Amino acid sequence: MIRRSMNRRDIFTGDYSRESEHGDMSYENLKFDKNDVFLVTGGAGFIGSNLCEAILNLGYRVRCLDDLSTGKQENVDLFLDHPLYEFVKGDIRDMDTCLKACEGISYVLNQAAWGSVPRSIEMPLFYEEVNIRGTLNMMEAARQRGVRRFVYASSSSVYGDHPQLPKREGTEGELLSPYALTKRVCEEYGKLYYRLYGLETYGLRYFNVFGRRQNPEGAYAAVIPKFIKQLLNGEQPVIYGDGKQSRDFTYIENVIEANLKACKASCEGAGQAFNIAYGGREFLIDIYHELAKALGRDIEPAFGPERKGDIKHSNADISKARELLGYEAEWSFERGIKEAIEWYKGIFGVSQRG
């Protein structure tokens, strides 16, 4: 069954959080072996640093591999004093680095990649090197080192121009960007590595993730942190297109849940890819106005041309992940955005009404 948060409501008046049908099914209750070690590649980035933190909070050992290209030293410094945390500065394009990083590892959570559809259109060769070759290096290193399971970040962009809503695994269209192609190729390698070598790979197709530590800086920043930062600074944000594009914005907690549950799921889903989202649909223009209201800013947005490579609408059917990974997606957009706004206010030093 797909549950959606289609109804609009002021983000501060209602909590649409999804009641867990299985209270004990939250990722906090997952049990791993006390000797298990996780490797998070891209662990200095937004999603990776949140994964590192969640694993440490559960009491397990985590190694973070990151070249700090788009990630931040401060996301490493947060955990450096933790006895169960280890940081390795290195590049997944280098096979020796990958082999060393996989030594003694039970689970790889491969997040390292370069994001952004428009940036990939500017530099396709670089995306091929990092996102495809880097991930292939990591899969091969995981195979050679006998890693138990390889969970990796894919993306909703693999659906390309297929108009079907909600998006279902198995119904994909023509790709619209080099970034999307890199993710599709990684999924194909994921399938092959399970079929040929028995490496248990799980591809997670994230849909527009947001939350604490997502970088608001730069031309290629994701839209939610970028709008929040601009609104807090009193700047006029630009919406590319008419603002009527929709996305299944997914709070970081749901992504953590998916990664950790993929480590524990039955082998039935090995070699496959899964939609990881909330299963809702938010329109960009509505989000803009809600953020402006929540931040107490009366600023109308500017509108720019549509961006090449962007899809118009996105909304996920998450039933496959529910069935095969036990994924619950307990955090609604409304509950997540409320927490994210508070977090950004904290880092920008803003009081309740700015």
Separation between Cα atoms, residue 223 and residue 238, nearest integer Å: 10
Q: Note whether 127 and 317 are within 8 A (CB).
A: no
Contact letters (x/-) for ligand NAD, 117-156, by CB under 6 A? Answer: -------------x---x------------------x-x-
Q: How far is the CB of 41 from ligand NAD (least distance, A)?
A: 6
| Residue 115 or 297 with smaller CB distance to ligand NAD | 115
Q: Which amino acid is at 88?
A: V
Which residues, including other chains, have CB under 8 Å from residue 338's CB and lie 6 or more apart? 11, 12, 15, 294
Contact between 112 and ligand NAD by CB under 6 A: the answer reads yes
For ligand NAD (CB under 6 A), the number of binding residues is 30
Concerning whether 179 is annotated as a catalytic residue, the answer is yes
Of residues 179, 194, 251, 344, which has the active-site annotation?
179
Residue 308's contacts (CB-CB under 8 Å, 6 or more residues apart) are: 118, 121, 176, 177
Interface characters, 39-78, with ligand NAD (x: CB under 6 A):
--xx-xxxxx-----------------xxxxxx-------
Kindly tell me which of 182 and 319 has the beta carbon lying closer to ligand NAD: 182
Nearer to ligand NAD, 208 or 319 (CB): 208
Q: Which two tokens stand for residue 265?
A: 């799921």
Q: Is the peptide bond before 166 cis (omega within 30 degrees of 0)?
A: yes
Closest to ligand NAD by CB, 273 vs 297, is: 273
Contacts of ligand NAD in 216-235 (CB under 6 A): 222
Measure Cα distances from 115 to 38, 112, 121, 280 in Å.
23, 9, 11, 22
Q: Which two tokens stand for residue 79?
A: 């955990």
Closer of 91 and 128 to ligand NAD (Cβ): 91
172 binds ligand NAD (CB under 6 A): no
* Cα 180 from Cα 226, distance rounded (Å): 22
Residue type, 6: M
Residue among 235, 240, 236 at smallest CA distance from 222: 240
**178 close to 115: Cβ distance less than 8 angstroms:** no
Among 60, 114, 127, 288, binds ligand NAD (CB under 6 A): 114
Asked if 262 touches ligand NAD (CB under 6 A), the answer is: no
Binding site for ligand NAD (CB under 6 A): 41-42, 44-48, 66-71, 91-93, 111-115, 130, 134, 153, 155, 206, 208-209, 215, 222
**Residues labelled catalytic:** 179
